[in-house]
Amino acid sequence: MRNRVFNPIGTVALVTGASSGLGAGYARELAQRGADLVLTARRQERLEGLAVELAEKYGTVSTVIPLDLAAPGGVAELVNDLHSRDITIGTLVNNAGFATSGDLVDADPARLAEEVSLNVAALTALTRALLPDLLHTSRAQPASAALVNLASTAAFQPVPGMAVYGATKAYVLSFTEALWYETRASGLKVTAICPGAVDTEFFEVAGRRPDSRRALLTVAEVMRTTFAALDRASTPPHAVSGLRNTVLAGVAGRLPHRAVVNAVGRMNRSGPTA
Protein backbone atom coordinates (compact mmCIF):
# COMPACT_ATOMS: atom_id res chain seq x y z
CA MET A 1 0.00 0.00 0.00
CA ARG A 2 1.32 3.43 -0.92
CA ASN A 3 2.33 5.86 1.77
CA ARG A 4 -0.64 8.15 2.39
CA VAL A 5 0.59 11.54 3.50
CA PHE A 6 -2.71 13.27 2.70
CA ASN A 7 -5.17 12.20 5.39
CA PRO A 8 -8.52 14.07 5.35
CA ILE A 9 -10.19 11.83 7.92
CA GLY A 10 -12.50 13.82 10.17
CA THR A 11 -12.73 16.75 7.75
CA VAL A 12 -15.27 17.81 5.12
CA ALA A 13 -14.44 17.95 1.41
CA LEU A 14 -16.44 19.92 -1.14
CA VAL A 15 -16.46 18.57 -4.70
CA THR A 16 -18.04 20.63 -7.46
CA GLY A 17 -19.35 18.92 -10.56
CA ALA A 18 -19.73 15.80 -8.44
CA SER A 19 -22.60 14.17 -10.32
CA SER A 20 -20.41 12.17 -12.73
CA GLY A 21 -16.97 11.58 -14.19
CA LEU A 22 -13.99 13.04 -12.39
CA GLY A 23 -16.16 14.73 -9.76
CA ALA A 24 -17.70 11.43 -8.70
CA GLY A 25 -14.21 9.90 -8.76
CA TYR A 26 -12.89 12.54 -6.37
CA ALA A 27 -15.87 12.05 -4.06
CA ARG A 28 -15.26 8.31 -3.90
CA GLU A 29 -11.54 8.64 -3.23
CA LEU A 30 -12.02 11.28 -0.53
CA ALA A 31 -14.75 9.22 1.13
CA GLN A 32 -12.50 6.16 1.07
CA ARG A 33 -9.87 8.25 2.87
CA GLY A 34 -12.29 9.18 5.63
CA ALA A 35 -13.62 12.62 4.66
CA ASP A 36 -17.27 13.58 4.81
CA LEU A 37 -18.52 15.24 1.64
CA VAL A 38 -20.42 18.18 0.28
CA LEU A 39 -21.54 17.26 -3.22
CA THR A 40 -22.71 19.93 -5.61
CA ALA A 41 -23.77 19.92 -9.26
CA ARG A 42 -26.97 20.57 -11.15
CA ARG A 43 -28.29 16.99 -11.25
CA GLN A 44 -29.82 16.30 -7.85
CA GLU A 45 -30.78 12.67 -8.47
CA ARG A 46 -27.25 11.70 -9.40
CA LEU A 47 -25.85 13.47 -6.36
CA GLU A 48 -28.29 11.72 -4.06
CA GLY A 49 -27.45 8.36 -5.60
CA LEU A 50 -23.75 9.01 -5.07
CA ALA A 51 -24.38 10.07 -1.47
CA VAL A 52 -26.17 6.77 -0.78
CA GLU A 53 -23.32 4.82 -2.39
CA LEU A 54 -20.69 6.59 -0.28
CA ALA A 55 -22.67 6.08 2.91
CA GLU A 56 -23.12 2.36 2.26
CA LYS A 57 -19.54 1.73 1.20
CA TYR A 58 -17.56 4.05 3.48
CA GLY A 59 -19.94 5.30 6.16
CA THR A 60 -19.53 8.81 4.81
CA VAL A 61 -21.97 11.60 5.59
CA SER A 62 -22.66 13.56 2.41
CA THR A 63 -24.48 16.87 2.14
CA VAL A 64 -26.13 17.27 -1.27
CA ILE A 65 -26.50 20.84 -2.56
CA PRO A 66 -27.87 20.92 -6.12
CA LEU A 67 -27.23 24.21 -7.92
CA ASP A 68 -25.66 25.81 -10.97
CA LEU A 69 -22.44 27.56 -10.01
CA ALA A 70 -22.39 29.44 -13.32
CA ALA A 71 -25.71 31.12 -12.56
CA PRO A 72 -25.66 34.64 -11.08
CA GLY A 73 -25.34 34.33 -7.33
CA GLY A 74 -24.61 30.60 -7.51
CA VAL A 75 -21.36 30.73 -5.54
CA ALA A 76 -22.85 33.04 -2.90
CA GLU A 77 -25.83 30.70 -2.52
CA LEU A 78 -23.52 27.73 -1.96
CA VAL A 79 -21.34 29.55 0.55
CA ASN A 80 -24.36 30.84 2.46
CA ASP A 81 -25.79 27.33 2.56
CA LEU A 82 -22.54 25.99 4.02
CA HIS A 83 -22.51 28.71 6.66
CA SER A 84 -26.14 28.06 7.58
CA ARG A 85 -25.28 24.38 8.15
CA ASP A 86 -22.13 25.33 10.10
CA ILE A 87 -19.96 23.29 7.70
CA THR A 88 -16.24 24.05 7.61
CA ILE A 89 -14.58 22.91 4.39
CA GLY A 90 -11.16 21.29 4.71
CA THR A 91 -10.65 20.25 1.10
CA LEU A 92 -12.00 21.95 -2.01
CA VAL A 93 -12.00 20.21 -5.39
CA ASN A 94 -12.94 22.69 -8.11
CA ASN A 95 -13.90 20.17 -10.75
CA ALA A 96 -16.96 21.80 -12.35
CA GLY A 97 -16.33 23.06 -15.85
CA PHE A 98 -17.10 22.44 -19.50
CA ALA A 99 -15.79 23.15 -22.99
CA THR A 100 -17.16 24.60 -26.18
CA SER A 101 -15.69 23.74 -29.56
CA GLY A 102 -15.52 25.33 -32.99
CA ASP A 103 -14.34 28.70 -34.26
CA LEU A 104 -15.12 31.62 -31.99
CA VAL A 105 -16.97 33.49 -34.74
CA ASP A 106 -19.56 30.69 -34.87
CA ALA A 107 -20.00 30.30 -31.13
CA ASP A 108 -23.08 31.17 -29.09
CA PRO A 109 -22.11 34.24 -27.03
CA ALA A 110 -24.34 33.19 -24.12
CA ARG A 111 -22.74 29.76 -23.99
CA LEU A 112 -19.25 31.31 -24.03
CA ALA A 113 -20.21 33.60 -21.16
CA GLU A 114 -21.44 30.60 -19.18
CA GLU A 115 -18.18 28.76 -19.90
CA VAL A 116 -16.07 31.63 -18.60
CA SER A 117 -18.39 32.11 -15.63
CA LEU A 118 -18.10 28.49 -14.52
CA ASN A 119 -14.50 27.69 -15.46
CA VAL A 120 -13.00 30.96 -14.22
CA ALA A 121 -15.29 33.26 -12.23
CA ALA A 122 -17.02 30.61 -10.10
CA LEU A 123 -13.77 28.76 -9.43
CA THR A 124 -12.08 31.99 -8.34
CA ALA A 125 -14.94 33.20 -6.16
CA LEU A 126 -15.43 29.83 -4.45
CA THR A 127 -11.71 29.47 -3.79
CA ARG A 128 -11.54 32.93 -2.25
CA ALA A 129 -14.62 32.33 -0.12
CA LEU A 130 -13.41 29.00 1.28
CA LEU A 131 -9.66 29.60 1.46
CA PRO A 132 -9.81 30.77 5.10
CA ASP A 133 -11.51 27.46 6.03
CA LEU A 134 -8.90 25.46 4.12
CA LEU A 135 -6.04 27.29 5.82
CA HIS A 136 -7.65 26.89 9.25
CA THR A 137 -8.03 23.15 8.70
CA SER A 138 -4.47 22.75 7.46
CA ARG A 139 -3.09 24.45 10.57
CA ALA A 140 -5.36 22.61 12.99
CA GLN A 141 -4.85 19.20 11.41
CA PRO A 142 -1.66 19.03 9.29
CA ALA A 143 -1.77 17.12 5.98
CA SER A 144 -5.57 16.98 6.06
CA ALA A 145 -6.49 19.94 3.83
CA ALA A 146 -6.15 20.52 0.11
CA LEU A 147 -7.13 22.75 -2.77
CA VAL A 148 -7.36 20.82 -6.04
CA ASN A 149 -8.23 22.77 -9.19
CA LEU A 150 -8.93 20.93 -12.43
CA ALA A 151 -6.89 22.45 -15.23
CA SER A 152 -5.99 20.54 -18.39
CA THR A 153 -3.17 19.86 -20.81
CA ALA A 154 -5.00 22.54 -22.82
CA ALA A 155 -3.53 25.00 -20.31
CA PHE A 156 -0.01 24.70 -21.74
CA GLN A 157 -0.69 26.22 -25.18
CA PRO A 158 -3.45 28.01 -27.09
CA VAL A 159 -6.08 25.65 -28.51
CA PRO A 160 -7.54 26.84 -31.83
CA GLY A 161 -11.00 25.34 -32.20
CA MET A 162 -11.46 25.41 -28.41
CA ALA A 163 -10.02 28.86 -27.81
CA VAL A 164 -12.11 29.85 -24.80
CA TYR A 165 -11.73 26.50 -23.07
CA GLY A 166 -7.95 26.53 -23.49
CA ALA A 167 -7.77 30.08 -22.19
CA THR A 168 -9.89 29.27 -19.14
CA LYS A 169 -7.66 26.33 -18.26
CA ALA A 170 -4.52 28.43 -18.71
CA TYR A 171 -6.07 30.78 -16.15
CA VAL A 172 -6.76 27.90 -13.75
CA LEU A 173 -3.17 26.69 -14.01
CA SER A 174 -1.67 30.15 -13.48
CA PHE A 175 -4.08 30.99 -10.65
CA THR A 176 -3.43 27.73 -8.82
CA GLU A 177 0.35 27.93 -9.08
CA ALA A 178 0.23 31.46 -7.66
CA LEU A 179 -1.87 30.22 -4.73
CA TRP A 180 0.55 27.33 -4.24
CA TYR A 181 3.25 29.93 -3.62
CA GLU A 182 1.10 32.24 -1.50
CA THR A 183 0.08 29.42 0.85
CA ARG A 184 3.39 27.51 0.85
CA ALA A 185 4.06 28.10 4.56
CA SER A 186 0.57 27.09 5.71
CA GLY A 187 0.71 23.34 5.12
CA LEU A 188 -2.26 23.52 2.73
CA LYS A 189 -1.76 21.19 -0.22
CA VAL A 190 -2.44 23.14 -3.41
CA THR A 191 -2.20 21.71 -6.91
CA ALA A 192 -3.65 22.01 -10.41
CA ILE A 193 -4.38 18.68 -12.06
CA CYS A 194 -3.84 18.62 -15.81
CA PRO A 195 -5.34 15.58 -17.51
CA GLY A 196 -5.63 15.17 -21.23
CA ALA A 197 -8.72 13.56 -22.73
CA VAL A 198 -10.57 11.49 -20.12
CA ASP A 199 -13.31 8.93 -20.68
CA THR A 200 -16.18 11.02 -19.25
CA GLU A 201 -19.14 13.05 -20.55
CA PHE A 202 -16.75 15.91 -21.43
CA PHE A 203 -16.83 15.36 -25.19
CA GLU A 204 -20.60 15.00 -25.33
CA VAL A 205 -21.02 18.35 -23.60
CA ALA A 206 -18.36 19.97 -25.80
CA GLY A 207 -20.02 18.74 -29.00
CA ARG A 208 -17.02 16.69 -30.08
CA ARG A 209 -16.06 13.07 -30.31
CA PRO A 210 -12.66 12.06 -28.93
CA ASP A 211 -9.95 11.35 -31.47
CA SER A 212 -10.05 7.57 -31.94
CA ARG A 213 -6.29 7.59 -32.59
CA ARG A 214 -5.59 8.44 -28.96
CA ALA A 215 -6.29 6.41 -25.88
CA LEU A 216 -8.47 8.16 -23.32
CA LEU A 217 -7.37 8.38 -19.72
CA THR A 218 -9.62 6.69 -17.19
CA VAL A 219 -11.03 8.42 -14.14
CA ALA A 220 -8.94 6.02 -12.03
CA GLU A 221 -5.73 7.20 -13.73
CA VAL A 222 -6.52 10.84 -12.95
CA MET A 223 -7.28 9.90 -9.35
CA ARG A 224 -3.89 8.18 -9.07
CA THR A 225 -2.16 11.28 -10.43
CA THR A 226 -4.03 13.57 -8.06
CA PHE A 227 -3.55 11.63 -4.87
CA ALA A 228 0.06 10.76 -5.66
CA ALA A 229 0.64 14.52 -5.79
CA LEU A 230 -1.25 15.10 -2.54
CA ASP A 231 0.60 12.25 -0.84
CA ARG A 232 3.96 13.89 -1.48
CA ALA A 233 5.47 15.72 1.46
CA SER A 234 5.84 18.71 -0.85
CA THR A 235 2.84 18.76 -3.18
CA PRO A 236 3.76 20.08 -6.66
CA PRO A 237 2.01 23.19 -8.00
CA HIS A 238 0.65 21.12 -10.87
CA ALA A 239 0.56 17.50 -11.98
CA VAL A 240 -0.04 16.15 -15.48
CA SER A 241 -1.88 12.85 -15.80
CA GLY A 242 -0.51 10.32 -18.28
CA LEU A 243 3.02 9.82 -19.58
CA ARG A 244 2.19 10.93 -23.12
CA ASN A 245 0.50 14.06 -21.81
CA THR A 246 3.46 14.82 -19.55
CA VAL A 247 5.84 14.61 -22.50
CA LEU A 248 3.64 16.75 -24.75
CA ALA A 249 3.14 19.40 -22.06
CA GLY A 250 6.90 19.60 -21.62
CA VAL A 251 7.53 19.80 -25.35
CA ALA A 252 4.96 22.58 -25.76
CA GLY A 253 7.03 24.79 -23.50
CA ARG A 254 10.22 24.23 -25.46
CA LEU A 255 9.19 24.48 -29.11
CA PRO A 256 8.68 27.80 -30.91
CA HIS A 257 5.31 29.16 -29.84
CA ARG A 258 4.03 29.71 -33.37
CA ALA A 259 4.84 26.14 -34.32
CA VAL A 260 2.94 24.82 -31.31
CA VAL A 261 -0.16 26.89 -32.13
CA ASN A 262 -0.07 25.74 -35.75
CA ALA A 263 0.31 22.11 -34.75
CA VAL A 264 -2.58 22.22 -32.27
CA GLY A 265 -4.76 24.05 -34.77
CA ARG A 266 -4.12 21.45 -37.47
CA MET A 267 -4.80 18.64 -35.03
CA ASN A 268 -8.15 20.14 -34.01
CA ARG A 269 -9.14 20.73 -37.62
CA SER A 270 -8.52 17.10 -38.46
CA GLY A 271 -10.19 15.75 -35.33
CA PRO A 272 -13.79 14.46 -35.51
CA THR A 273 -16.66 16.55 -34.24
CA ALA A 274 -20.09 15.45 -33.09
What are the residue numbers of the active site?
165
Determine contact, residues 193/241, Cβ cutoff 8 Å: yes
Q: Are strands 238-241 and 189-195 parallel, antiparallel or unpaired?
A: parallel
Closest CA to 111 of 32, 102, 144: 102
Closest CA to 239 of 165, 180, 159: 180
What does each C-alpha distance from 114 to 71, 72, 118 come to in angstroms?
A: 8, 10, 6
Exposed e or buried b for every residue in 88-123, given b needs 16+ CB within 10 A? ebbbbbbbbbbbbbbeeeeeeeeeeebbbbbbbbbb
Determine contact, residues 149/14, Cβ cutoff 8 Å: no
Helix (H) or strand (E) holding 41: strand 36-41
Q: Identify each DSSP E strand in 42-104 by its residue range.
A: 62-66, 91-94
DSSP letter at 117 equals I
Q: Are strands 189-195 and 146-150 parallel, antiparallel or unpaired?
A: parallel
3-state DSSP call for residue 38? strand
CA torsion 18-19-24-27 (nearest 10°) is 50
